[in-house]
Amino acid sequence: MKWRVNFSIPNCNYNIIDRTIGIFVDCIPKKNGEQLFKEWYLEFVEGTLTAFIPVLVVDAITEWIKDKIVAEPDWADEIHQECEKINRQYFAYAKELDKLDFKKFCIQDIYDKYIELRKLQSAGHSRAIATTWFLDSNGETYSNYLRQELGEHLQSIGVCDKVKMIEYFITLTTPYKKNFTQEEQIEFLELLKFIQSREQDVGILRDSKNEEVMEKISSEAIERITKHYEKWHWTPYGYIGPAYSLHHYLDELRGQLAVENVSDLVKEESARHDKIRSQIEKLEIEIKLPKKLSHLFQIARDIIWLKDFRKMCFYHGHYVLDKINSEFVRRLHLSLRQINHVPAPEFEDAVLRGKFDENAINERICYSLMWSDDKTVKYYYSEEAKRIKNSLDIEEDKLQTDELVGACACPGSARGKVKIVNSFEDVPKVENGDIMLAITTHPAFLPAMKRAAAIITEDGGITCHAAIVAREFRIPCVVGVKKICSVLKDGDLVEVDAGNGMVKVIKKI
């Protein structure tokens, strides 16, 4: 049996996936009563998670989910509505827990709250896994179907311009529901406008070091900056952190003090999604988009929005989980990394009874493998895990060289130096005009993405995080360029033609 890498995530967390992998299988719709997704392996190597699924299974599942959406679009609507509802409950519960001082609780009460949050996390992350993950995880099955259907429709009304078709496709798949990123952006601009209105605070922020700013500025400014920090500092947390510090927001404010017409920017940001909705409605009338195809594009927009929404809820929830885990760590004398590598079946004994094998935990951190179907999870560590992994017949991606090809997530062109970003520590090296490369992206990379002239990722399709951000900020973006982080390195000069999904190597250093 040949296996395919379905995704690879750096800086991931063993314990999170451990509690959801069986649920993932169960959330894939059965075909004629048969579960097509029967097994998979998950490999952990020093914080990087890689999933392996049988090639024929991946092909069959993605085609089946696409066919089910096309035949039963109401099915997709229903699970998307359920997923949003669960994630709102999950976010609200995590927010309530974030207010608690866990040092004041007994270990059983903390554990009960931990388990309840885990249940909501698993339900929220898994309910729409078929559409928000599997559907476009194998060469953009659903996106390609929509491209083909739209192309055929446009040809039928005499529109044959390829560039227009790309523009129409991007417009029709751009969500118009507000998300966390836009909400934070608007509130930050409001904060910036307030600071700009106070000449003395501007001078202090501009001329003082961060350590001194909060001692010198006005109490009103302190209150507003602190409020923004407390509400949003979790956003880059991802799977393992860190969250933003207060100094991050001071640096952001200082860097944007000279921005003019902030009130206009607030109005523009606030109206952005209404504007997108209006553009979509006008375009559908202009090109006489059939009602069924319009519904299928609406589902695509829901997938893109929901994928980002549930992931942000997931990151917020894990930020809170790690606050709980920090209390477990304090009482058990383990590290946070170690507690996050205690598998689910052993967690209760470890936390409530202090029964754990520290050597086994450390082996899992270095190398571990999990196998799962819809009923069972098996755990392998160290040499046994490596032996099993080496026995798998894994499909190899072909290494591209001079011209690298992926899918257009946001059209446009750019030329610049490559900067590879695969961890939070890599973010500062991206300067204005650089071409940012990543295996995959998440909110911690947002400052670098906003500075980049173009974004390129190895993983993902039009529903991935990079594609969502690129559309939000109109940054040329190419996704799904296999092995590009292995082909290029920092400082290489490339030219990006995002509309055609092309990356051309100009000069290697």
Each residue's pLDDT tens digit, 120-143: 999 998 999 999 988 887 778 998
User: H-helix or E-strand containing 372?
Assistant: strand 367-372
How many other CB atoms are found less than 10 A from the CB of residue 383?
10
pLDDT > 70: percent of the chain: 97
* Residue-wise pLDDT tens digits, 257-302: 988 899 998 998 899 889 999 999 999 999 999 999 999 999 999 9
- pLDDT category at 53 given cuts 50, 70, 90 is very high
Q: Domains in the chain, ordered, with CATH?
A: 2-139+320-394 (no CATH), 180-270 (no CATH), 403-507 (3.50.30.10)
Residue 236: name the closest of 317, 306, 316 by CA.
Answer: 316
Facing residues of 143 across strands?
none
327, 329, 332, 334 alpha-carbon torsion, rounded to 10°: 180
- In 18-78, DSSP assigns E strands to 40-45, 48-54
- pLDDT category at 402 given cuts 50, 70, 90 is low
Helix (H, G, I), strand (E, B) or coil at 10: coil
Chain-wide mean pLDDT for the chain? Answer: 91
Mean pLDDT along residues 413-430: 91
Strongest mean pLDDT among 71-85, 452-466, 469-483, 493-507:
71-85
Residue 113: name the closest of 130, 125, 95, 129 by CA.
Answer: 95
* pLDDT of 21 higher than 80: no
Distances (CA, A) of 243 to 199, 234, 312, 315, 323: 30, 5, 13, 10, 12
Distances (CA, A) of 232 to 95, 96, 136, 170, 192: 12, 15, 30, 29, 15
Q: Of 240-244, 371-375, 474-478, which gets the smallest average pLDDT?
A: 371-375
Exposure string (b/e) for 308-326, b if CB count within 10 Å is 16 or more?
bbbbbbbbbbbbbbbebbe
Q: Are 224 and 215 in contact (CB under 8 A)?
A: no
Structure-token match 């090296």, residue found: 429
CA distance 319 to 305: 21
Task: Output the pLDDT for position 458.
Answer: 87
Task: Output the pLDDT for position 11.
Answer: 80
Mean pLDDT along residues 349-375: 90
Helix (H, G, I), strand (E, B) or coil at 26: helix
Which two structure tokens, joined as six digits, stand for 57?
Answer: 């299974």
Residue 255: name the closest of 492, 466, 119, 428 by CA.
Answer: 428
Q: Are 264 and 180 in contact (CB under 8 A)?
A: no
* pLDDT of 331 higher than 80: yes
Angle value at C-alpha 472, between 491 and 24, nearest 5 degrees: 90
Which residue type does 238 have? G
Helix axes 73-98 and 107-126, enclosed angle (nearest 10): 160
Task: Output the pLDDT for position 166.
Answer: 85
Task: Output the pLDDT for position 373.
Answer: 82
CA distance 366 to 381: 9
Q: Are 352 and 111 in contact (CB under 8 A)?
A: yes
Task: Output the pLDDT for position 390.
Answer: 94
Distances (CA, A) of 226 to 233, 234, 399: 10, 13, 48
Task: Output the pLDDT for position 406.
Answer: 87
* pLDDT of 371 higher than 80: yes
Task: Output the pLDDT for position 459.
Answer: 79
Task: Output the pLDDT for position 432.
Answer: 94
Residue 167: name the closest of 77, 275, 287, 84 by CA.
Answer: 287
Residue 83: name the closest of 319, 314, 297, 321 by CA.
Answer: 314
**DSSP designation for 399:** P
**DSSP designation for 502:** E
Mean pLDDT along residues 56-71: 94
Task: Output the pLDDT for position 16.
Answer: 67
Collect contacts of 373-380 with beta carbons under 8 A, ≥24 apart. Answer: 373/22, 373/25, 373/38, 373/39, 374/22, 374/25, 374/26, 374/35, 374/37, 374/38, 375/22, 376/22, 377/18, 377/21, 377/22, 377/344, 379/343
CA distance 457 to 448: 14
Mean pLDDT along residues 153-180: 90
- pLDDT category at 401 given cuts 50, 70, 90 is low
Q: Which residues contact 220 (CB under 8 A, 6 or more apart)?
A: 194, 198
* Phi, psi (deg, nearest 5) at residue 484: -65, -30
pLDDT > 90: percent of the chain: 63
